[in-house]
Amino acid sequence: MPGEPDSCAAGGGVPAGAALPGEAGAGSRPRLAEPLVEGTVDGVRVAVPRGATILEAARLCAIEIPTLCHHEGLPPEGSCRLCLSETRGSLAVSCMYPLRESGFAALTRSPAVLEARRYVLSLLVCRAPRAPRIRKLADEYGVSPDPRFMRDPDGCIRCGRCVRACRASGPEAIALCGRGFARLVTGPFGRPPEACVGCLACALACPTGKIAFSERDGVRRIWEREFELAPCPECGKRAFTREQLAFLGGGASALCHSCRRRLMARELGKAAALEAPGGPALLRAL
C-alpha cells in the first residue's frame, strides 16, 4: 500500500473514522452561498462560486490539472507548484488562486505553463525519482532529473500533505523541520514522534508513498514506533490502534468499517420500519 498512493483527488488519503474538523477543508471548497462568477478555462465557458480556485473551475470543465500537494480534505498550501496555470499573462498556482470576478480566462496548457511545469517536475523528480506518481508525470512530460539538484533523493517532495493530515485529523505529531536542503518531515528533535497515535493519516495522504508502515500480528509499525491494534468487538478484525481510539476520545469504538456500516444499516432499517404502518408489530415479530 505505501508504494501505490491513491490519486490526489477527493477524499484521497484520510481514513474513515478520523473525521476532519470543520475548518480543515476551509479555503479548498467553493462556497456555495457565493454569487457565481463566469469565465473560461482553456476556452471552455464555466461559472463557479466567487472565491473558487482555478483548479476547481478546471475540474468543473473536466480539464485535468496535475496536482501533488493539493488534497480536497485539507487546507491548501501551494507547496509543490505542479498545478501552475496562466492567467492575466502570468503564472498562477491553480490550487490556491481564487477567482473573484467574471471574465477570467485561465490557460492550463499554454507554452509558458508547460515549460514551468516541466521545470518544477525536474526538481520534484530529484527528490522522489522512484515514486510511481512522480515517474508517471515525468514520463508524461518528458522530464528527467536535473543532476545539479540530485542531492538526496529520499522519496519525499516536502509537500507537507502528511503534516496537514496529521494536523487535521491527528495530534500534529510531525512537522516539516529545518530549512533548505536539510528540510525534512520528522517528529520533534528528529526522533520518532512521541505524540503519534498510529492512525496512518500521514501515510495515506502522502502522494509519493514515502511514509512506510506495516501491520503484522495485531501490531502496526509506523515512524519507528509500534502500536497495538484493538480488535473490532463484532468481527475481531483489527482496524484502529488503542492510542488512536484514546485520542479520538468520547468512547470511540474499535468497530471496523464494515461492521460499522452493517450496524448502521440495521439501525436505519429499524428506524424506517418503525415509521412504516404495521412496522413496530413486524419488528416485534422478528
Partner 1 sequence: MAGPDLSALPEILESRPADPSELLPLLTMIQGRWRHLPQEALRAVAARLSLPLARVFAVASFYRSLSFQPKGERLVQVCCGTACHLKGARAVAASLEKSLAVRMGATREDGRVTLESVNCVGACALAPVVMLDGTVHGKVSGPGAAGLRL
Residue choice 106, 157, 173, 196 for contact with ligand SF4 (CB under 6 A): 157
At residue 242's C-alpha, the angle toward residues 241 and 244, to 5°, is 65
Residue choice 48, 68, 137, 239 for contact with ligand FES (CB under 6 A): 68
Per partner kind, with CB cut-offs from 5 to 8 A, the member of partner 1, ligand SF4, ligand FES, none near residue 83 is: ligand FES
Nearer to ligand FES, 94 or 208 (CB): 94
Backbone phi, psi, residue 70, to 5°: -75, 140
Which amino acid would we find at residue 265?
A
Contact track, ligand SF4, 164-203, x by CB under 6 A = ---------------------x------------------
**Count of residues near ligand SF4 by CB under 6 A:** 14
Minimum Å gap between C-beta 71 and ligand FES is 9
Chain Cα centroid distance, residue 260: 23
Minimum Å gap between C-beta 192 and ligand SF4 is 15
Per partner kind, with CB cut-offs from 5 to 8 A, the member of ligand FES, partner 1, ligand SF4, none near residue 173 is: partner 1
- Give CA–CA dist 54/96, Å, rounded: 8
Per partner kind, with CB cut-offs from 5 to 8 A, the member of ligand SF4, partner 1, ligand FES, none near residue 67 is: ligand FES
Each residue of 196-213: b (16+ CB within 10 Å) or e? bbbbbbbbbbbbbbbbeb
- Stretch of residues binding ligand FES (CB under 6 A), selected from 36-44, 91-99, 168-176, 196-204: 91-99
**70 is a contact residue toward ligand FES (CB under 6 A):** yes
β-bridge partners, 221: 214, 226
Question: Would you list the DSSP string of 69-101?
Answer: S--TTS-----S-TTEEEETTEEEETTT-B--S
Per partner kind, with CB cut-offs from 5 to 8 A, the member of partner 1, ligand FES, ligand SF4, none near residue 206 is: ligand SF4
**98 is a contact residue toward ligand FES (CB under 6 A):** no
**208 is a contact residue toward ligand SF4 (CB under 6 A):** yes
Rg for the chain, CA atoms, rounded? 22
Helix (H) or strand (E) holding 267: helix 257-275
Among 98, 92, 135, 139, CA closest to 112? 92
Residue choice 113, 159, 222, 232 for contact with ligand SF4 (CB under 6 A): 159
Minimum Å gap between C-beta 179 and partner 1 is 5
- Give CA–CA dist 276/74, Å, rounded: 41
Minimum Å gap between C-beta 4 and ligand FES is 20
**83 is a contact residue toward ligand FES (CB under 6 A):** yes
- Give CA–CA dist 209/80, Å, rounded: 16
Contact residues for ligand FES (CB under 6 A)? 67-70, 78-83, 93-95
